[in-house]
Structure 1
Amino acid sequence: MEAVPDVPRRRRRQIRAVKEAMRDLNIQLSLLNRRLGAHADLKDVDWNCLDLLNRHGPLSPSALARTAGLHPATMTGILDRLQRGGWITRERDPDGPDRRAVIVRVRGDRLPEIYRLLSGMNTRMDRLCEQYTEAELELIAGFLKRTTEAGHDATGRLADG
């Protein structure tokens, strides 16, 4: 009689392997971001905010603080550093509720510097993705999106105490 494999144990090992791989990815991306920041004279949190602005902006400082999960007072210091570094501009928001309303924009003339720093990783990712079918890429993208949502939820629970 043939032995029946222990599916639950194997599945637990597979899940553990995925979690370990995600932890390794987190560490490696943190290292990449730190190196990028060192080359561009950006702190990790500054780079995160700049990336959020580039992807979702322009935003008000309070909207950026909410998106980044940061206190508004912390955001002021970050925006001061980004503006001094020539990465962003703060402009009066013509649609704002009052004359003090501001929106923050990324300065497009500085983005090629970031793109150059990320070109090695982007090239490697393009080559990696070429190895997968459209269906596999859809599965991977869906997994990463749901993983991001899980991280967002866990972050919110930690923030709530």
Structure 2
Amino acid sequence: MNDVTKADARRHRRSANAVKASLRDLNTQLALLNRQFGAQVELKDADWNCLDLVDRHGPLTASALARLAGLHPATMTGVLDRLQRGGWITRERDPAATDRRAVTIRATRERNAELYRVLAGMNNRMDELCDRYTDAELELIADFLRRTAVAGHDSATELGGA
């Protein structure tokens, strides 16, 4: 390997390490935001994650939600109980299902206004940040974040042994 190629490789490695360090910083800040947000709307982290998944992908069965959230079914029962008590979700029995225990989880859309109000500061900051980028740059960033999410999912699956 010649000196130019070695220098390029070092530069690339430094840049990649800077991206990974930034992702760790982002993870920390989003965890702090989620804790503060959760305190405002009285949702635990796992509860908020599940509510967000139901809101984005629902309606879902409890087992499908548990798989998406990476939670044990027994843990999911407690999460769903808290979300239902808080008025965040409804559980509906499917009369056509062969298993009478089968339920579908739906987000209570009427509560979304409360979520939007609490997250308005972050949403406004993200809008301002996105305004600084071209459509092409935003597509690149979105692609990178989607691929990062897949890498995180695959790594969590690997660590979980599933």
Question: TM-score scaled by structure 2?
Answer: 0.94
What is the CA–CA distance in structure 2 between the aligned matches of 1:81 and 1:138, rounded to whole Å? 37
1:31 maps to a residue whose letter is: L
Residue 129 of structure 1 is matched in structure 2 by 130
Query: 1:132 Cα deviation (Å)?
Result: 0.6
Residue 28 of structure 1 is matched in structure 2 by 29
Q: Does 1:59 align with 2:52?
A: no
State the percentage of identical aligned residues: 65
Q: Does 1:102 align with 2:103?
A: yes
SS of match in other structure, 2:60: coil
Structure 1 segments of 4 or more deviating over 3 A? none
Aligned length: 159
Query: 1:149 Cα deviation (Å)?
Result: 0.3
Residue 15 of structure 2 is matched in structure 1 by 14
Gapped regions of structure 1 (runs ≥ 5): none
Q: What's the C-alpha RMSD, in Å, of the aligned pairs?
A: 1.4
Query: 1:108 Cα deviation (Å)?
Result: 1.2
What is the CA–CA distance in structure 2 between the aligned matches of 1:65 and 1:101, rounded to whole Å? 14
What is the CA–CA distance in structure 2 between the aligned matches of 1:152 and 1:95, rounded to whole Å? 33
Query: 1:94 Cα deviation (Å)?
Result: 3.5
What is the CA–CA distance in structure 1 between the aligned matches of 2:25 and 2:96, rounded to whole Å? 44
SS of match in other structure, 2:106: strand
Deviations 1:52-94 (A, max 9, x none): 0000011110010001001001000000011111111111124
Residue 153 of structure 1 is matched in structure 2 by 154
Gapped regions of structure 2 (runs ≥ 5): none
SS of match in other structure, 1:91: strand
1:85 maps to a residue whose letter is: G
Question: TM-score scaled by structure 1?
Answer: 0.94
Deviations 1:82-129 (A, max 9, x none): 111111111112443333211011111111101111111111111111
Residue 112 of structure 1 is matched in structure 2 by 113
What is the CA–CA distance in structure 2 between the aligned matches of 1:117 and 1:105, rounded to whole Å? 21
